[in-house]
Structure 1
């Protein structure tokens, strides 16, 4: 199945919208719920910070292992079948907090979310991007990826807006219902992409690296027991200069995005006394800019400047945003700084578009899964670095007075990512790999 128009992906867009709405109506409320369950009547809670950081690390580790697997299996069995897994998994945590939000319910949510989040948090975006990239022509691929990302951001925007006006109990009920509707809608309306038939299984060496270790033959069997080994994933990521540089940017972007989660929110709560409503407004501003940038700016700028230039600009914007928030002197400063996501949120779709052009349609799942997995690896390290910094510089034991120093360090991840992002333009725009229906080979 090959699609010529973005309108052919409309059912995928609806699924992405509903699933992302369910995921993003929750974050404005979860910080208050966590602190309230663990440290009642307190604004600062070290236990909440460390538990959230630990969960983020486990989610990153799980995503790093699961996303390449899900992507690869989607190349074989069809993307709709595998997309069902993360969409359906997101239902369970919301149901738990819809029932109750006491300490016991919170711990139940915490445990379940730690497992389901491994596939749902990034898996929905990863498999949706792979679906769009594999089923639309290459010249329209950047627009398709931008639309998938933009619709996800628009759903995040409306989810955050809903959280601003819904009660805490209603938030989780709405999230559960939205996930359920997304699952049912996808199963009914989204067209299945055909997985590889037996005749299409890769019997040729999947990776050829000029006689290097990667040149050893490796058949890909259609079973869960014989998936791509870690060695072949590394060979794929090393197969071109562009993919190697994209891997570095993905890792650093994951490191920065991880720092924008738990450390960022707890800094605002402890330093500026932000609550659920403040978080909702802040996210509302950010997602509005992100949706506008991904839906309107990226499809228009990419043909002119190229995804590589957009990637570099978004890294700069990410650093500036964190720098401004780190020295916030008033409540309104984070709101102003959050206007920059109109550019900084283009990092991921620009990177995904670059990667999609390095492989053929039958390997979009594994390629997007690998990049998402590398980004998740950055999310593993992020709480290990930023959580202790957050706790230290918000306490009286800080070596110097700079409460936002942890956010400055978050911004440094994007500043460093600027270097490989600027080098991507010197690499080949497309690798030698173009995978047909029958097999593939890759020349480094």
Structure 2
């Protein structure tokens, strides 16, 4: 792969950032319950707080992801990448200090605000960086390696969470998150596209009528994507439009999974931090294997569309078996679907990358991540009340996993849409050729 030295620094940065983020995931439900509902295994307030945080972060991401992606097209990926990396470690430092109720709510507020940028910011800019440095024919492999690096970070972070105490988890995660920002600043090289743009001033000095100088903010509407710009991308090709809808349903399911699954497992089988970590570890080991091996080898041969459909259907099966889990070992077995589930995101990104030119990679990836962020807004509004209802004693019928099954149905909807991508894209190409002839 060309520019391997430059890309290796990007992979290390992404690894460290994701390692810190996923390291705290298994511990957050216990910390939340201890702060909000001490001594309880079931707590609707904790579920609603988690859903509200995801919704607010999603609203901010809808605006921020296209903006950050488009700004990186002009001012460079590295310059923009420093923003989410710095913001990531701020909430972690709070819980690394203490985890009392007051400190938890301070973390909660900071995390909600910073997640508007950090939730998808690193991913958005990393994808743009790869597109700058990898030829179109090899991007599916590059995106697969990036997803594999992320999955490997999840494996390492989850394993560390399994071995460390809750106090140590947040201290180590905060340290690694700071290290990620420092490493990126020192070693990552800026892309050629951003180098010239960085010389352009964000503030320009203009001369007033009386001859004095006055600093005014330079406003370039081309750097701030409007809804019209995003709509133009969506209707630029049938493939892009279908990929956007698939991304929406995929994100709807992923956000629902984050909202419901751990609380469901805690209420259904009494899972704690270590059991959460074990389930996640199995899923992320499978994701690492699939993205490091399947994507580079099978992607160029059978196509991104096939792998995308496979990943979406695996997500549905995973949720279906979890929803009807009859024994504690079932979630461990269904987690093995991670071998295919995590194929969805990198193949989507590769499909999208091929639909736009080199000067629109940041905008395209940012726009899609904005759409997925919108799904993150809707998802907790749907799944949090549903999960709280069916885990309570007031459920209309006895099916604690009903919300988990509904998460799986979102993946199933994405699966049916993904099947249409190669069919409609091929039909449009045939029609276009017939018209020209």
- TM-score, L = length of structure 2: 0.90
Q: Quick check: 1:17–1:154 contact (8 Å CA) kept in 2?
A: yes
Deviation track 1:69-125 (CA, whole Å, cap 9, x = no partner) reads: 110000000000101111111010110000000000000000000011111121111
Residue number in structure 2 paired with 1:218: none
Counterparts of 1:60 and 1:257, CA distance in 2? 13
Counterparts of 1:75 and 1:44, CA distance in 2? 46
Please report how far the alpha carbon of residue 6 of structure 1 lies from its aligned counterpart in structure 2 after TM superposition.
3.8
Structure 1 residue runs of 5 or longer lacking an equivalent are 202-220, 433-444
3-state SS, counterpart of residue 247 of structure 1: helix
Residue number in structure 1 paired with 2:168: 170
Listed as ranges, the matches of 1:8-27 within 5 Å are 8-27=6-25
Deviation track 1:339-375 (CA, whole Å, cap 9, x = no partner) reads: 0011111111000000011112221111111111111
Residue number in structure 1 paired with 2:151: 153
Q: Quick check: 1:57–1:379 contact (8 Å CA) kept in 2?
A: yes
3-state SS, counterpart of residue 28 of structure 1: coil
Residue number in structure 1 paired with 2:32: 34
Listed as ranges, the matches of 1:9-408 within 5 Å are 9-193=7-191, 194-195=193-194, 197=196, 223=220, 227-408=224-405
3-state SS, counterpart of residue 302 of structure 1: helix
Counterparts of 1:427 and 1:182, CA distance in 2? 42
Please report how far the alpha carbon of residue 428 of structure 1 lies from its aligned counterpart in structure 2 after TM superposition.
4.1
Q: Quick check: 1:146–1:349 contact (8 Å CA) kept in 2?
A: yes
Structure number with the higher helix fraction is 2
Q: Quick check: 1:76–1:222 contact (8 Å CA) kept in 2?
A: no
Structure 2 residue runs of 5 or longer lacking an equivalent are 201-217, 430-437
Please report how far the alpha carbon of residue 196 of structure 1 lies from its aligned counterpart in structure 2 after TM superposition.
7.8
Deviation track 1:3-23 (CA, whole Å, cap 9, x = no partner) reads: 725454111111011111111
Inter-CA distance 299–46: structure 2 relative to 1 (3 Å threshold): same
3-state SS, counterpart of residue 260 of structure 1: helix
Counterparts of 1:129 and 1:99, CA distance in 2? 33
The answer to whether 1:411 aligns with 2:408 is yes
Please report how far the alpha carbon of residue 256 of structure 1 lies from its aligned counterpart in structure 2 after TM superposition.
0.3
Deviation track 1:258-317 (CA, whole Å, cap 9, x = no partner) reads: 111021111111111111001111111111011111111111111111000011111110
3-state SS, counterpart of residue 327 of structure 2: coil
Which 4+ stretches in 1 moved above 6 angstroms? none
Q: Quick check: 1:6–1:144 contact (8 Å CA) kept in 2?
A: no
Please report how far the alpha carbon of residue 195 of structure 1 lies from its aligned counterpart in structure 2 after TM superposition.
2.3
Inter-CA distance 222–17: structure 2 relative to 1 (3 Å threshold): farther
Q: Quick check: 1:135–1:361 contact (8 Å CA) kept in 2?
A: no
RMSD across aligned positions (CA): 2.0
Counterparts of 2:168 and 2:337, CA distance in 1? 31
Counterparts of 1:180 and 1:196, CA distance in 2? 25
Counterparts of 1:16 and 1:223, CA distance in 2? 30
Counterparts of 1:4 and 1:253, CA distance in 2? 31
